[in-house]
Amino acid sequence: MEYKNQISIETKFRFLKSPVYLGPVFLEKPERVDALGYVFMLVLLVASYLEYRVRKGLKKTGQAVLLPGNKKTDRPSTQTIMETLSQVEVLIIGGERYFPETLPLQAISMVEWAGYDPDEIYLKPLECNF
């Protein structure tokens, strides 16, 4: 019965193997290969959690993500989420951070569907309490 869930795992690894997210890697030492494997697992965990939060937010609000070809979905893939978030730009003018007027609203909505405040994430500098 476990083979029925295999497609979801294969889909996640296909995301990782995309050359857009990961270029060629050469590692000599087995310890480094192991370490990279752990990093991949962490990336998949975070990406899966982001996908879960966005889908949960879409369900809660009753909204949908607009895909190419004017198709709508309430179950965007991790790749779709990452491509949408890659459109976010921040302008820094005189030390102040702003979103450009041409910013796609769906990119900001994606952050909100995940349960976060876009202004807090993109426009406010990180506070370090060391």
Residue 105 domain-assigned? Answer: yes
Residue 128 domain-assigned? Answer: no
Return phi, psi of residue 97, to 5°.
Answer: -105, 140
Residue 13 domain-assigned? Answer: yes
Containing structural domain, residue 49: 2-123
Please give the radius of gyration of the chain, using alpha carbons only, rounded to the nearest integer: 18
List pLDDT tens digits, range 52-71: 999 999 999 999 999 989 89
Q: Could you give the number of structural domains in the chain?
A: 1
List pLDDT tens digits, range 24-58: 677 788 888 888 888 888 988 898 899 999 999 99
Residue 91 domain-assigned? Answer: yes
List pLDDT tens digits, range 69-127: 989 999 998 889 999 999 999 999 998 899 999 989 999 999 999 999 999 989 987 77
Residue 129 domain-assigned? Answer: no
User: How many CB atoms neighbour CB 49 within 10 A?
Assistant: 12
Alpha carbons 58 and 94: distance in angstroms, whole number? 36
Residue 101 domain-assigned? Answer: yes
Q: Which residues pair with 71 in a beta bridge?
A: 67
Parallel, antiparallel or unpaired: strands 96-98 and 65-67: unpaired
What is the pTM (predicted TM-score) of this model? 0.76
Residue 130 domain-assigned? Answer: no
